Structures are given as structure tokens and as C-alpha cells.
């Protein structure tokens, strides 16, 4: 009965290095979302993916950030050349195909990956 | 982008008291959800609301989807120590899949 699995739970990187965060959605879920949470703040949407497709990346920074959800394997959020401002908790959520004509959607979240940039 | 204004930002209450928090927006939402987040963990769904005017309970928690579809509130009755955490409202715009989150209400309970 695995939920949304994220790893690593904690990641420390020096400025200029790359960070890769992985997310395996719940069984049967085909939609993945990435959110970022800064300390003492709410969750900010970054990107929404289905298998092999980026559906909405309106919340992704224009540079250094990328996301993928390949046909096989977990979704990856990649941050290149990290800076101190990238330090945050990154949450992945998944959902099944939205139900009904209203498209109502319930997201299940993972425990998050906490990135610290030194 | 769309904004959800959640209030209050924090609450300090005595055990046994009732709690009320709300979210408002200038946009119309198709779905309202309430999540709770505890330290070091991800948000956990408490209640989902799908229709304007809907009132739904989950144990001591009650939430309502506002008639105008621009607001929602969450009530917690007879609070207990394990209610401590950060409560987030989240809304889904019609035709969109992503959720927009409020800033959160941090609940602290004095025993």
C-alpha cells in the first residue's frame, strides 16, 4: 500500500552542483505534480506531468529547472547549478485520471525532499 | 497567478476549544480541498469539497464550499493536542488539474 514515494528525503549540495529529486506516484496514478515550499510558506506549483508529457510548467523557473516523467521509472525534478535560494522542500503529488465531467482532482502528496544548498 | 487568502495565519488556543479558519479568492473554484501538514511531512488530505454549498464532515472536522465558489472554511471542534500542525486550503479552477494553495494556518494548542 505504498503512497507517493520521494527520494532522497534530504539532499545537501554546494552551490553550482546539480540536484536530482525522484518521485514514484501511487500505484494506478498517471499524473504527477511538483510543488516547492519555502520555510514558513505555502506550496507553490511548479509543474504537472503525465507519462512522457509535460502538461503545465507555468510554475517552473525559466532556467536551471527541468522535469520529466518517462514511460518507465520515476518522475525526476532536476535543478542544475543550484544556488542558495533553491533551498526548500520539494513535494511531489500524484493523482489518477480526474473523475467526472467536472474534472475534480484530489492530489496525494509524498513526504517531500528537503534540499539544502551550502 | 490565482491567489488564495487564508486566515488566520496562526492560532494559539487551549485544548478543547473550537477552531475556525477560512480561505477566500477573487477567482471561482471548482473544487476546494483542506490539507494538514505536520513537521517534516507532506500535506495529508482532510476533506474534499466538490459542490457549491456543500458541507462535509470528517470526525471533528467540518468544511464548507462557499455558495459563491470563491471561499471555503474549516472548523475543528473540541481541539486535542494531535490537531497541532499547519492547515492548508487548496483550490482547483474549472478545467485545471493543478491545485492552488493558501498560505496556511499554523495551529498551536496549549494543554
Q: What is the pLDDT of residues A59-94, one digit of tens each?
A: 999 999 999 999 999 999 999 999 999 999 999 999
Contacts of B101 in chain A (CB under 8 A): 35, 42-45
Considering only A40-54, A101-115, B38-52, B66-80, which range has the smallest mean pLDDT? A101-115
Q: Give the separation between CA A27 and CA B20, rounded to whole angstroms.
A: 35
The overall average pLDDT reported for chain A is 92
Query: Which residue from A35, A106, A111 is facing B41, i.e. has the nearest CB?
Result: A111
Q: Does B42 sit within 8 Å of A110, measured CB to CB?
A: yes
Name residue B71's beta-bridge partners.
B24
Contacts of A109 in chain B (CB under 8 A): 35, 42-44
Phi and psi angles of residue B37, each rounded to the nearest 5 degrees, phi first? -125, 130
Query: Which residue from B30, B100, B104 is facing A102, i.e. has the nearest CB?
Result: B30
- Contact map slice: A 50-109 vs B, CB within 8 A: 55-56, 58-59, 91, 93, 95, 98, 102-109
Contacts of B35 in chain A (CB under 8 A): 109
Residues 6+ apart with CB under 8 A from A114: A9, A10, A11, A88, A89, A90
Average pLDDT (B38-66) is 95
Q: Give the separation between CA A110 and CA A90, rounded to whole angstroms.
A: 9
Rg (CA), chain B: 13
Stated length of chain A? 118
Amino acid at each position: 500500500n505504498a503512497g507517493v514515494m520521494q527520494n532522497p528525503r534530504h539532499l545537501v549540495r554546494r552551490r553550482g552542483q546539480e540536484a536530482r529529486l525522484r518521485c514514484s506516484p501511487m500505484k494506478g496514478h498517471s499524473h504527477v505534480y511538483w510543488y516547492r515550499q519555502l520555510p514558513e510558506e505555502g506550496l507553490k506549483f511548479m509543474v504537472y506531468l503525465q507519462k512522457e508529457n509535460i502538461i503545465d510548467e507555468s510554475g517552473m523557473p525559466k532556467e536551471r529547472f527541468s522535469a520529466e516523467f518517462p514511460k518507465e521509472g520515476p518522475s525526476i525534478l532536476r535543478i542544475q547549478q543550484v544556488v542558495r535560494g533553491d533551498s526548500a522542500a520539494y513535494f511531489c503529488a500524484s493523482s489518477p485520471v480526474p473523475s467526472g465531467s467536472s474534472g475534480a482532482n484530489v492530489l496525494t502528496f509524498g513526504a517531500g525532499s528537503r534540499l539544502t544548498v551550502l | 497567478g490565482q491567489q488564495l487568502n487564508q486566515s488566520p495565519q496562526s492560532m494559539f488556543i487551549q485544548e478543547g476549544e473550537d477552531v475556525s479558519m477560512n480561505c477566500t479568492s477573487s477567482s471561482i473554484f471548482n473544487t476546494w480541498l483542506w490539507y494538514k501538514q505536520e513537521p517534516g511531512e507532506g500535506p495529508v488530505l482532510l476533506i474534499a469539497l466538490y459542490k457549491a454549498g456543500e458541507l462535509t464532515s470528517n470526525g471533528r472536522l467540518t468544511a464548507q464550499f462557499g455558495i459563491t465558489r470563491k471561499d471555503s472554511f474549516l472548523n475543528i471542534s473540541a481541539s486535542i493536542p494531535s490537531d497541532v500542525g499547519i492547515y492548508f486550503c487548496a483550490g482547483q479552477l474549472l478545467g485545471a488539474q493543478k491545485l492552488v494553495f493558501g498560505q496556511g494556518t499554523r495551529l498551536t494548542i496549549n494543554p
